[in-house]
Amino acid sequence: MASLPKILCVGAEPTAVEALAKSLGAGVECHAVPNHLEAEKLLRTEEFSAVMMLNQDEAGIQPLETIRAAEIVSQIADGVVLVDADNALVWANHQFRQWCPTSDIIGESFYKALGSADILGPDFCPFSSARRSGVPSTTVVRISDHQFYQLKAVPLSSVDHAEPQLIVSIRDVTEDSMQRQKLDRIREAGMELADIKPSEIYEMTVDERIELLKTNILHYTHDLLHFDVVEIRLLDHKTNLLEPLLAVGIGDEAANRVLTAEPHRNGVTGFVASTGKSYLCEDTAKDPLYLDGLIGAKSSLTVPLILHDDVIGSFNVESPDVNAFTESDLQMVEQFARDLAMAINTLELLIAQQADTARQSVDAIHSAVALPIDEILNDTVNVMEHYIGHDPDVVRRLQAILRHARDIKQVIQEIGREMAPAKAAPIEDVEARPLLKDRRILVVDADKAVRDDAHRLLERYGCVVETAHEGSEAVLMVRNCGENASYDAVISDIRLPDFSGYQLLLRLQPLMTQVPMVLMTGFGYDPGHSIVKARQAGLPAYAILYKPFRLDQLIEVVEKIIQSNEVHAPTSS
């Protein structure tokens, strides 16, 4: 038996429906619902031949248009529900129903229908907040360890309800939340890359610290990023070479390939290091920049290591699959690369700190013994002057004392160079001055601070410094400076306790073929016209330092004196 045609009557009073049914006769079945929401719900489960809209809703919207809008909402990708004052579901679209564990959810509590969600915030009472404030409230809920939704509750005023109902939109944010959690773990891992306890710092060698960093890198790239093929290179800014730091899963030939930070003929790595831009190679067979790394690699992802806007290296991962890396992978690798750059910088600072500590230790030892050794030298040459011609054995012993004292100073400098780690970047970048290395300098000044500074500043460039308090000591030092040896420069104050700098110059002329004299004076201070007289006696115009002078001025004058001596040195026939 065929079923009767059914008409759905929306918004009609019962009497009106009865009248309609009577007028249509027994061949038609009429159903009445009070509003368009109930109509939409019924239309999803039953078939009707016609829908009759018997009134207009309170908002002035044609009910048929409202039903069409409800149908559209029912089909969108986000979940949409209507909840009452008790947070029970009045209506839910198709997407929300799919997310719920059971299908019979109308009248059920929102959170129970969704599956006992945990509210993660930022608003932990979004429905109450929306009703109380009258403005939308947003929060994130977790259904399980791997399912996250973002809720937005919007209050809906209605004359039919004492308390406003809520329209709640629900968006699946699982992928974004998982990505954010992964980035958070990567940030935490980055902080641990070079995390060394203070008590461990000085117990580890430079190589041990580097190995610790490599181990941590491999651990986190495998466990967090899930990459098995990794190559890291560091940029040497002086040579522009990309030096290998770590290579796993890549052949020896590729790992040891010479690459520079240039955009052409240096592969993806050279391009990334030169431009500072990340590079996603989706298919190695079609990419003109790619150079073979992993045997059988089909795609790669390379990002720069950047510290304070400067590229310090590159981080590269590869896969045997085409299009293996996504934009999400790129975001995570770039984050890890930023943390890695910081870790490398921390490691270098620790190495430099170790070097600086060694240098400070050597400086402390040297400052404690340098001037006392000079005192030994001064006293020894004074004694030698009194014993010359009287007791040859005593003279030989005194000469041995001079040699040993000078050897002690040399040993201290050599120990200082050995204590600094070979891979350390010095805290204070001292410009190389080959002309000054191993040059013997005599500094004559009554001021202890001047003599001490002379040791500290000149020995930084490899000079061998000795000092004297007064002119007569300086003469004895020159006279007894050793066989086949002489001072490469004599730096003297113009006013010494016993005589002037000019008088010292005159006394040294018989002892030296050419006196490499440099005079120091305050501006305008030359009561005995020592500078004028010294100039008349052959002192070069540049060989004058006006206190206070800069280190670069001192170095420049000493180098000129040394060069002048070498030009005018007598040649053997």
Instruction: Decide if pLDDT at 153 tops 70.
Output: yes
**Residue 228 binned pLDDT confidence (cut-offs 50, 70, 90):** confident
Domain of 434, CATH number, reads: 3.40.50.2300
- Coil, strand or helix: which one is 305? strand
More confident residue, 486 or 24: 486
Q: Which range is most confident: 209-218, 334-343, 512-521? A: 512-521
In a domain, 561, yes or no: yes
Dist CA 360 CA 366 (whole Å):
10
Domain of 89, CATH number, reads: 3.30.450.20
Instruction: Decide if pLDDT at 489 tops 90.
Output: yes
Q: Range of 302's domain?
A: 183-353
Per-residue pLDDT, 59: 42
Instruction: Decide if pLDDT at 276 tops 90.
Output: yes
Distances (CA, A) of 567 to 2, 434, 462, 571: 125, 17, 22, 10
More confident residue, 339 or 346: 339
In a domain, 443, yes or no: yes
Percentage of the chain beyond pLDDT 90 is 13
Same structural domain, 374 and 455: yes
In a domain, 573, yes or no: no
Nearest one of 459, 408, 466 to 437, comparing CA atoms: 459
Same structural domain, 501 and 378: yes
Token couple for 164: 């406003």
Dist CA 390 CA 9 (whole Å):
139
Per-residue pLDDT, 426: 41
**Last residue of some domain: 48, 72, 96?**
72
Per-residue pLDDT, 174: 78
Number of domains the chain contains: 4
Residue 82 CA, chain-centre distance (Å), reads: 49
Q: For residue range 241-253, what is the model confidence (pLDDT) as tens digits? A: 998 888 888 878 8
pTM: 0.44
**Last residue of some domain: 144, 172, 200?**
172
Per-residue pLDDT, 391: 66
**Last residue of some domain: 353, 378, 393?**
353
Same structural domain, 495 and 557: yes
Q: Mind giving me the DSSP string for 432-459?
A: P-GGGTT-EEEEE-S-HHHHHHHHHHHG
- Sequence letter at residue 138: T
Same structural domain, 372 and 232: no
